[in-house]
Amino acid sequence: MRIYEVKNYEELSRKAADMIAAQIILKPDCVLGLATGSTPVGAYRELIKKYENGELDFSQVSSVNLDEYKGLSGENDQSYRYFMNHNLFDHVNIDKTRTHVPNGLEPDADKACADYNTLIGSMGGIDLQLLGIGGNGHIGFNEPCEEFICDTHCVSLAQSTIEANARFFDSIDEVPKFAYTMGIRNIMSAKKVLLLASGKNKAQAVYDSCFRPVTPHVPASVLQLHPDTVIIADSDALSLAKEKGVF
Ligand code: F6R
């Protein structure tokens, strides 16, 4: 994995957008794996700027998102479909029929997950997978556990993740307890992975994921085994690695 240190969130967002833009320019009909959460919002904003300046054309791009809450419709303003429309898709010339998020309204978890795996396969795989990282090292909703789960699956969210996500809901009771998420093999099968980490609250996760042994207890550590992973992290997110003298 290659790690690029940036000064702050603004620089991280610009660099991430440059890399995603490069992917679209190199392969206009690429498949982007996309993430929600607060980290990629700045990069999406930069991509919108590039589109508005006439530097980027999304017309042939397809996308698959990492995850979706089980039980939320795309119209719910806390769903990840809504997030993607609001933060990116509504502002660029992407064909929305080519943008995909797991179907949160499918109550049959096995069906929802099998359908999503089939879909990813039918798209020919992911060219560039964008990731954020949880404070506990989760990627997508792959939480720390005893073994890596390969394919799209239904997860019961960790209490720390429910608490971290509560800021987006009126009360913690409204945070869904289950989600559909791509599995580790879906992510590892992407040709390129771009993980973004910003802030001191990610310092432990970045240290454990990049500089400690690979373990399902720190799901992002598996990226050490991916042939083409780029991490863009700001100085705060790299602070523990620096303190330990490994970066
Ligand atoms: C989002 C996702 C999550 C987030 C992670 C970090 O689709 O899959 O793994 O990337 O929880 O979230 P933020 O960026 O809000 O710190």
pLDDT surpassing 90 at residue 79? yes
Ligand 1 atom with least separation from CA of 142: 9
pLDDT in tens, 111-132: 999 999 999 999 999 999 999 9
Q: Which of 96, 185, 196 is CA-nearest to residue 147?
A: 185
Q: Which atom of ligand 1 is nearest to the CA of 65?
A: 7
Q: What is the pLDDT of residue 14?
A: 98
Catalytic residue of the set 100, 138, 153, 226: 138
Catalytic residue among 65, 103, 136, 165: 136
- For ligand 1, atom 11, the nearest C-alpha belongs to 134
User: Which pLDDT belongs to residue 166?
Assistant: 87
- 188-239 pLDDT, tens per residue? 999 999 999 999 999 999 999 999 999 999 999 999 999 999 999 999 999 9
Pocket test for ligand 1, best of 63, 138, 175 (most atoms within 8 A of CB): 138
